[in-house]
Amino acid sequence: MATINFGGVEENVVTRDEFPLAKAHEVLKDETIAVIGYGVQGPGQALNMRDNGFNVIVGQRKDSASWEKAVSDGWVEGETLFSIEEAADRGTIICNLLSDAGQIALWPTLKERLTAGKTLYFSHGFGITFNDQTNIIPPADVDVILVAPKGSGTSLRRLFLAGGGLNSSFAIFQDATGKAYEKAVAMGIGVGSGYLFQTDFKKEVYSDLTGERGVLMGALAGIIEAQYQVLRQRGHSPSEAFNETVEELTQSLVPLVGENGMDWMFSNCSVTAQRGALDWKGRFRDATLPVLNELYDSVASGEEARRTIERGSTPGYRKELEAELKEVRDSELWQTGATVRQLRSKTENVEA
């Protein structure tokens, strides 16, 4: 591990310098890595590990779009692509990358194939942390580890192909063989992580659920809707309201924050923008702190997990979800966004 200073706080992290790919190969040389589920995280992790030279197979239901995607990605039925059951039988490291609802439904199938000495791998702490609701309780004679890339499987794959990597957390829930730690780190390197920081299953899912509902998705969507609404109600056109709310955020400012930090972004804006941001950020922080604390409490109490499981297992949920997403998609805000992206794309094509 390397000791790194993060804003005055020292953390131990794992980088590819002290744990290179060759070392990961040595740790996992006798393992068959079975990626169960080829939906959100499965493709990115499986393809990155395959390209990195590991022995990877995929388990997926045959009558599904995900099976067809796996075939189109070069996985071969009977050689590297199998049913979930056969892949879990063959695998020594079983990567449970199904959705949270899928993990609950398939747990009896996977559990009976977790023979002594195998490794159960997750990329989300949900099933284990909330096992009073999921009933996912692993046998005592298997390792249980986690590697959670901090982004989508699509981003993981894109950055890998570009020569970079998403940062990932890793955790050990159960060390039956005495080798769980090195297997977790090796898997983290294998899937293409930038650097790895250690956590535990509970902290991973608490931070993840808070982040998704907060800044990353829920809060972002909510504050965008609020500002767009204010501008439209005050007489601004859809194009002006969208560009000032979303387009500048996503195409100009957030990339600068990602590349160089918030202070750098502030320092490279006009004095008027700097002053306004510095004067108002505290107001927004103070207004949202109570909401975020309420959100964290809801996550920690298991209420968010309960609601997710309950809604996800409701008959017809997919239809309800599509109706909710359609409402977002058909709103003036995001219809305007579709037009703006079209116009931007035409400009980019002309410049190219």
Annotated binding site for substrate: 270
Strand order in the sheet with 2-6: 2-6, 9-15, 193-198, 166-174, 143-149, 119-122, 93-96, 33-36, 56-59, 81-82
Alpha-carbon distance 199 to 149, whole Å?
13
Active site residue 236: no
| CA gap 158, 1 in Å, rounded | 26
Out of 50, 113, 124, 157, pick the active-site residue.
124
Tally of CB atoms within 10 A around 187: 29
As a whole number of angstroms, the distance between CA 347 and CA 222 comes to 29
Q: At what angle do helices 218-233 and 332-351 cross, to 10 degrees?
A: 100
Annotation: binding site: 208, 212, 244, 248, 270
Using a 10 angstrom Cβ sphere, with 0-12 exposed, 13-18 middle and 19 or more buried, the burial of residue 219 is middle
Give the number of C-alpha atoms closer than 13 A to the C-alpha of residue 111, restricted to the C-beta side.
13
Cα–Cα distance measured from residue 34 to residue 93, given in angstroms and rounded to the nearest whole number? 6
96 token code pair: 């449970």
Measured CA to CA, the distance from residue 95 to residue 118 in angstroms comes to 11
In this structure, the dihedral spanned by the alpha carbons of residues 158, 160, 164 and 167, taken in order and rounded to 10 degrees, is 90
Q: Output the known binding site for Mg(2+).
A: 208, 212, 244, 248
| Residues recognised as catalytic | 124
